[in-house]
Structure 1
Amino acid sequence: MKVIAIEEHFTHPSLYDEEGEGELGDHPIMVGIRKKLRDLGRGRIAEMDAAGIDVQVLSHAVPGAEALKPEEAHRASQANDALADAISHHPGRFAGFAALPVQAPDAAADELRRAVEELGLKGAMLNGLTTGRFLDDAAFQPVLAAAESLRVPLYLHPALPPKPVLDAYFSGLSELQAGNLATAAWGWHSETALHLLRLIVSGVLDEYPDLQLVIGHMGEMIPFALSRIDTVLTPINEHLRQPVADYFKTNVHITTSGYATFPPLQCALAVLGADRIIFSVDHPYTPNEPMVNLLKTAPIDEADREKIAHGNVEKLLRL
């Protein structure tokens, strides 16, 4: 069975600071994975082979290009060029999502077009809020319009919450406790779920009906809550073209990243169906082997397993 992992991370010097790769660079959890983030060659491929992963779809780790100043937009292009170069040196093993300087929306749209049409990248990964704003802000319409016209997805990935949120929700804890609660343990999932739901209720997906969005971490808790979400939000959003839950059939895909046990997958399958679920590891933050083991041993229909492993992502990214 072919296995393609869609949310796998790397770093490039143009988009990370001197202290380490991204916002969590100083945290102990990063110590063991910094080298892996930098590796776009033989070491990464050896780990893929050992786990049985055929292709990784690579994206820059947080904070990515969203942390750039508008005048630094060219640095995203440098990271995208490096990614395209790595893909060209390992044909058939890597694909990639572009990093975009979303705080400069017109430049970001231009970079997305360049990344797709000239570099062969398959979409873009957008990390968290941009200058404190979600993507439903009208300023970001050029990026959404470009993605729809290019027929490539936008992957909504979390990032560190804004400082007022950090202060209100996570003060009084140790640095390690606050850092993890604000990110991988909880905060990332609730923020990204909110980001997606805002795009739905604001009408963005009605304005761009062919736009495809991807969220990771087994749907950022949405599958478990979707019935209640739909019951509460659909009656008060009569301007929408369809019930809130139906956008998960037409515009939204979820990935398995970081969730290596069966119950969350079972929930996602029951709520969304196999056609909307894509395999991911979240490498190197999550080890490859447990995720591949879940994919290969979960008690699910074999046709669904093939869709999750490679069929859905091949269709979405036109691989």
Structure 2
Amino acid sequence: MSTESSTARAYRRIATEEAYAPQELIDEYLRLLKTDNVEIGFRSLMGYFLQSSHPQPQQVVSRLADLGERRIADMDAAGIDHQILSLTSPGTQVLSVDAARDFARLANDRIAEAVRAHPTRYSGLAAVGFEDAPSAVEELERAVTTLGLKGLIANSHIKGTYLDAPQYLPILQAAADLDVPVYLHPQTLPDAAISPYVEAGLDGAVWGFAAETGLHLLRMITSGLFDRVPNLRVVVGHLGEGLPYFLSRIDHMHQKQVASGRYEAIKPLQQKPSEYLRTHIWLTTSGMPWEPAITFARSVLGNDRVMYAMDYPYQYELDEVAQMDALSYSEQERYEFFQGIAERVFKLPRL
């Protein structure tokens, strides 16, 4: 385990996908679990974390709402200098329109308060209630310009709809105009797709998250969203949710689909689908501290497209940072991986 002070090395270790939830939101999730009107995935995921007697989910939940001494002690123990905080999945995206707006504002205020209290240890991303685009734009502008938050967290689909849908364009345009990235984070699959995953016990982080969020990111690309909003920047965790491995096939099949006119949704793009991952999208290593996968992602997308994340508290492993420090990188590459890319993408202050 590597816990030496950041002054003893030439870089800060910045973890870029680190979850938080106000206790009030946890309580609201518990209330929703007592009702019948919740998605299958929400009941599977939050039912496990909030109602299981197993120590692993209990430890996760006990850490989620803490933005003080315990979280900082955990960071110190693991060798993390700075966390970029964001509202945990599924965030606001399972709530009513009014509740989503109110809980987004609460979470943003709490994260901003923590950043003010610990400016060298925390930065934060803003949450919004996506179903009410005007209020979402207003809240994102407040969170960025007044609270100083550094991006927008989107916990993937919004009740089965995706960010390529026209109703979300004003929110994404606002993020682009504010020059902050959108962090596309997983949640469980929507009811229309989840049954085979739940049946096999594969609906969560083991595979369902990647299937759902990889689909979401690919929809954003193939819909032409990045052509319509050319200054939109997106960050996605878990080394791109499997897409980097499929880029050659995606490009090949997309070209054939455009030529054949098979699908109304598939139109010509200004670039190959794979090229958007090199021009508009950055990856983090959250939950994927595995050298072969990191090396592959860097090789196909570029070293400047892959940065570090831990996925705290869901995947809090004390030896992970030591494993990442041991990657066969030059000192400059290690600086970029842990610090430089994150500072540029999220426009973090140099501390």
**Same fold flag (TM > 0.5):** yes
Find 2:115's aligned residue among 60, 63, 87: 87
Q: 1:201-249 CA distances to partner (integer Å, 9 max, x unpaired)?
A: 1000000011000110111111222222222224534621111111011
Partner of 2:144: 116
Distance in 2 (CA, whole Å) between partners of 1:47 and 1:32 is 12
Distance in 2 (CA, whole Å) between partners of 1:316 and 1:146 is 16
Deviation at 1:137, TM superposition (A): 0.4
Find 2:240's aligned residue among 219, 243, 251: 219
Q: 1:229 to 1:43 in 2, by over 3 A?
A: same
Find 2:177's aligned residue among 134, 137, 149: 149
Q: Secondary structure at the match of 2:318?
A: helix
Find 1:35's aligned residue among 62, 69, 72: 62
Q: Residue 134 of structure 1 aligns to which amino acid in structure 2? A: Y
Partner of 2:86: 59
Partner of 2:227: 206
Map 1:1-319 → 2, pairs under 5 A: 1-16=11-26, 17=28, 19=30, 23=46, 24-27=49-52, 28=54, 29-72=56-99, 73-171=101-199, 173=200, 178=201, 181-237=202-258, 239-319=268-348
Q: Give the TM-score taking structure 1 as reference length.
A: 0.93
Q: In structure 1, list runs of 5 or more residues that go unmatched.
A: none
Question: Conserved in 1, the CA contact under 8 Å of 2:238 and 2:285?
Answer: yes
Q: Give the TM-score taking structure 2 as reference length.
A: 0.85
Greater alpha carbon shift after TM alignment, 212-221 vs 230-239? 230-239
Distance in 2 (CA, whole Å) between partners of 1:130 and 1:19 is 19
Distance in 1 (CA, whole Å) between partners of 2:322 and 2:288 is 11
Question: Conserved in 2, the CA contact under 8 Å of 1:10 and 1:58?
Answer: yes
Greater alpha carbon shift after TM alignment, 105-114 vs 18-27? 18-27
Q: 1:147-191 CA distances to partner (integer Å, 9 max, x unpaired)?
A: 0000000011111211232224433x5xxxx2xx11100010011
Give every structure 1 segment of 4 or more consecutive aligned residues whose post-TM-superposition deviation is greater than 6 Å: none
Distance in 2 (CA, whole Å) between partners of 1:71 and 1:214 is 27
What is the alpha-carbon root mean square deviation over aligned residues?
1.8
Deviation at 1:18, TM superposition (A): 5.5
Q: Give the structure with higher Rg (CA).
A: 2
Identity rate, percent: 38
Number of residue pairs the alignment of both structures matches: 312
Greater alpha carbon shift after TM alignment, 18-27 vs 294-303? 18-27
Q: In structure 2, list runs of 5 or more residues that go unmatched.
A: 1-10, 32-41, 259-266
Q: Secondary structure at the match of 1:5?
A: strand
Partner of 2:263: none
